Structure 1
Amino acid sequence: MTNASKGSKHLIIFACMLLQAIPYGIAQNIPPLFIHYLEKEYHFSVESVGYIFMIGALAASLISPMAGKMYSKFPVKLMMLGGLILSACGVMLNAISTKLWMFLVASAITQMGTVTFSGLGVPFLIATWFDKKSKASALGIAFAGGSIGNFFLQPIVTNLLNHYELHRVYFMCALASLIVGVLIGVFLIHPNKQPLSTTKNTTSNKQSSTSTTNTQPTNDTHPANIQSGIGYKQTTHQKSFWALSCFYLIIGLAISALSSQYANFFAAIHINTTLIGTIGSTFAIACLVGNVGGGFLFSKIGVRNAMFLAFILQLVTVILLIASIFIPAIKIFSAFAWALLYGFNVYSYMSAPAVMMQTLFGMKDTSQILGVFSIFFAVGFALGNIVFGFFVDTFGFTAAWISILCYVVIGFSGLLFFITDIQKHQFAEQTA
């Protein structure tokens, strides 16, 4: 096992935080700010704008397995730079878009690039620098950059939209994403040249690999070859992996509504706009705590217990939202409770996918495994707003939130069951 200097590790975390704060924030956190202007300028319906987000999520889910596989074949710097440039180009395409289909294509390109450098790249890079005990905490801190960036990007972009034409704001955002992303990718992003190994029998593994009939050259210093785990093929042969993924898709249905529909709901129960903005700021701060705290939770109490805590946080949040419909006197309390509890819970869909795959199935082919797993959450997230909207339009907010409560209970119950089952097999400690 080799140890990198603390300075190098801190620099990598700082670089990842900057990527999450600006390129990721521009691609993922600020698009809702443009909704009103798209509806006003191009007369898009709410449903049409919803398709922009859905297509982006689906495109990301489709590219994830391919991008994950490419991380085992190409340098991490090259892959992350490619994702950063692609993401910025997608945002730039919005600056010349005038038709709905153009915005759909722009969203797809943006999200394909974003999942490549953020959803897959950041966890892969962190895993080459930090050992099993510290990588979850490091990943949580890295992803906290998104919350920090969101805190500053929201007022900046809002101010730009109030003073400049829509296309110019898109152009400025894309340019900022491109410049910051390329500078960080070129000068700060690089893998540990001697990645940490958790495999106890590395020597025997190398001897075994040289005795096989596979004539393809191997790189023994690559994380995929020196880390423990059963690998992509054996993982995808496990029924428990697919069951785990399906239950995480159900959780994605709930996450989508809880993340996107809060402003509409709070307005519907007559919370004033100014207070909704304050609630949103509270949520951003809680997300910062949740990202950092979630990483430490994974390290200290394990994956299952950390996800059980996330289950409780989401369950209480949804119950309070439902209660605010029947008891108007607690609506303000429920709104701020959502901001705090759901914000603290942010780790359950930011760092959790990577931590779960690395912890349950090991580091071998981890990006490829994560790419497949991410498809399910992305599909759930993409469909969540549409399903929630259908319930609201047809039955009202009460039925809609009850449906979310069901997703939370079913999704987390299944997820926790299969996490326990998979841990019994200790796949992460084996070698393919």
Structure 2
Amino acid sequence: MDIRKNARGWAIVAVSFLILMFIFATCISCMGVYVKPVSEDLGIPRTSFTLTITIQAFAMMLSSMLAGKMLETYNMKRLMMAGTTASAVCMFIFSVAPSITYFYLAGILMGVSVAFTCNIPISILIKNWFDEKKEGFALGIAFVGSGAGAMVLNPLYTFIINSYGWRASYFTAGAFMLVVLIPLIGFIVVKSPEELKYTNGTKTFTSEENPAKQIREDDFTLSDALKQPQTWAVYIGYTILTLSSMALLNHGIPFMTDYGMPSSVAAAVISISSAALILGKVISGALYDKYGVRRVTIFEMIVVTLCITGFWINGMIDSMAMIVLFVILYGIGIPVATLSMPLILPIMYGKSNFGSIMGMFSTASGLGGMLQVIISLIYDSTGSYYPAWIILSVLCLLNVVIFAAFAKSLRKHAI
């Protein structure tokens, strides 16, 4: 069973990698390649198209708590297959949409489907299949899928758009989801080693009879967690973290070009930073396993603060050495935005109700994404990104204090 468990566990990591590559990267990281061609073809402002991304993020945020509970309680394989199918259907709807209204309606479904296929179920799966000595490394490899997807699929979708049109590109994305992911999820995904052992992954367990759930008396329920002030402090911390990390991606290029950097160089800086992030996630996962979750999380929070502060300071001195330092700090620090949550939450609350609690905290990521509009409002009001970067630097420094003080066990006995 140990050999089977080990092989199945790493197979699940591989499937998770591909899910994040073909669903998360397509729906989140690659939407930018469609802004101009879709807007021009449908005769709409670009703002109207980008509203699809906001609607999708809002739907994902609202559905995350429901997804966490359902994935914990019902058959995960069936829910993930349904979510993957829904994602593909959304791509097909985009490919034939005669107006932007269809994008908005499909965007709602897309947000829900991402909640049921990506970060939450993948975190639960890896939590069930790996112990603390390998969990961080496994998470790191799985979550590299989103970055790898952005690197591979952005140029692929752009090529299809230029050669055959944006509708063909959306159709291709949906076909990838159906042809590649559905069979892999169906054959490989099993919620836990216990379900594989006793039922070969075919039985649907309720939360009461699931053999994978090892309930401890001092583990928190979601209701218990919501009553703790520390919960809301860490929730705010993850909102700040998402807001800050996404600000670098969404506003980094316009900021760099504002102070005179050529657009091609600015785009290359962000692209190289994304490549550094891929390596950084794998290294960070191994560091979590070796040196401890809290210690590495706080260290990476400090690095994120230095990364953002150094980024806007470079706008004043325009030093290539500072840009190189930014890329290094980005690769070291930003992995905390995705890797720390599924590792910190069991320390704070225990593992018994991980899915429900993870679902609740995942809404912080959606909220942080929606708050990106604040960065644009600051720029429109002041004509500069500097006030926004200074505010983000202060908030990131506050985050170091928040996680150092509150991201620790709230139970009578540590794990």
- The residue correspondences of 1:153-192 to structure 2 (distance < 5 A) are 153-192=153-192
Query: SS at the partner of 1:190?
Result: coil
The alignment status of 1:397 with 2:385, answered yes or no, reads yes
Alpha-carbon distance in structure 2 between the residues aligned to 1:413 and 1:48 = 39
Gap runs ≥5 in structure 2: 197-205
Is residue 58 of structure 1 aligned with residue 58 of structure 2? Answer: yes
Write out aligned runs for 1:192-207 (5 A): 192-194=192-194
Q: What letter is aligned with 1:393?
A: D
In 2, the alpha carbon distance for the partners of 1:58 and 1:401 equals 24
Aligned residues: 405
Task: Decide which moves more: 47-56 or 374-383.
Answer: 47-56
Matched, 1:282 2:272: yes
1:249 aligns with 2:236: no
> 2:295 is matched by which residue type in structure 1?
N
Q: Is residue 88–residue 178 contact of structure 1 (8 Å, CA) maintained in 2?
A: yes
Q: CA deviation at 1:190?
A: 1.6
Structure 2 residue identity aligned to 1:325: G
Matched position secondary structure for 2:313: helix
- Per-residue CA distance 1:298-338 (angstroms, 9 max, x = gap): 2222222222222222222222222222213x1x4444443
After TM superposition, the runs of 4+ consecutive aligned structure 1 residues lying more than 4 A away are 1-4, 224-228
Query: Does 1:368 find its partner at 2:329?
Result: no
Output aligned runs, 1:66-105, within 5 Å: 66-105=66-105
Give the corresponding residue for 2:374: 387
Is the aligned partner of 1:6 residue 2:45? Answer: no
Q: Does 1:237 align with 2:237?
A: no
Given the alignment, which residue of 325, 339, 347 partners 1:351? Answer: 339
Gaps (5+ residues) in structure 1? 197-215
**In structure 1, how many angstroms separate the alpha carbons of the residues matched to 2:259 and 2:216?**
55
SS in structure 1 opposite 2:194? coil
Conservation of the 8 A alpha-carbon contact between 1:219 and 1:225: no
What per-residue deviation string (whole Å, max 9, x for no partner) do you get for residues 5-32 of structure 1?
A: 4322222222211222223222222112
How far apart in 2 are the matches of 1:33 and 1:116?
25
Q: Does the 8 Å CA contact 2:129/2:193 hold for their aligned counterparts?
A: no
| Cα deviation, residue 194, structure 1 | 1.8
Secondary structure in 2 matching 1:71: helix
1:18 aligns with 2:18: yes
Residues 69, 269 of structure 1: alpha-carbon distance in 2 compared, 3 angstrom cutoff: same
Deviation of 1:348 (Å)? 1.5
With normalisation by structure 2, the TM-score equals 0.89
CA contact (8 A) 1:392 1:400 kept: yes
8 Å CA contact 2:140–2:285 kept in 1: the answer is yes
Q: Do 2:81 and 2:186's aligned partners in 1 also have CA atoms closer than 8 Å?
A: yes
Summarize deviations over 1:51-80 as a string: whole Å, max 9, x none. 322221111111011111111221121121
Partner of 2:201: none
Code of the aligned partner of 2:282? V
Aligned to 1:119: 119
* Offset, 1:2: 7.1
Task: Tell me how far apart the structure 2 counterparts of residues 426 and 99 of structure 1 sit (CA, whole Å).
Answer: 56
Q: Per the alignment, do residues 251 and 284 of structure 1 end up closer, same or farther by CA in structure 2, a change over 3 Å counting?
A: closer
Give the direction of change, closer, same or farther, for the CA distance of 1:222–1:296 in structure 2 (3 Å limit).
same
> Which whole-Å CA distance do the structure 1 matches of 2:127 and 2:58 have between them?
26
Taking structure 1 as reference, are residues 301 and 347 closer, same or farther at Cα in structure 2, changes over 3 Å only? same
Change in 2 beyond 3 A, CA 1:110/1:350: same
Q: Distance in 2 between matches of 1:254 and 1:67?
A: 25
Contact 1:90 1:108 in 2 (8 A): no
Contact kept? 1:61, 1:374, Cα under 8 Å:
yes
The aligned residue for residue 261 of structure 2 is 271
**Deviation, structure 1 residue 352:** 1.8
Moved more, 151-160 or 340-349: 340-349
1:346-404 deviations in Å (ceiling 9; x for gaps) = 321222221121222121111110111111221122112x0000111111111121122
Describe the shift of the 1:130–1:183 C-alpha distance in structure 2 as closer, same or farther (beyond 3 A): same
Measure how far apart 1:115 and its partner are.
2.1
What residue number does 1:423 align with? 409
- Tell me how far 1:154 sits from its aligned partner: 2.0
Tell me the CA shift for residue 143 of structure 1. 0.9
Distance 1:347 1:426 in 2: 30
Identity of aligned residues (%): 20
Inter-partner Cα distance in structure 1 for 2:259 and 2:108: 34
Give the alignment partner of residue 325 of structure 1, picking from 315, 321, 338. 315
Offset of residue 257 of structure 1: 0.9
RMSD: 2.5
Which shifted more, 347-356 or 407-416? 407-416
- 1:180 and 1:355 mapped to 2: Cα distance? 29
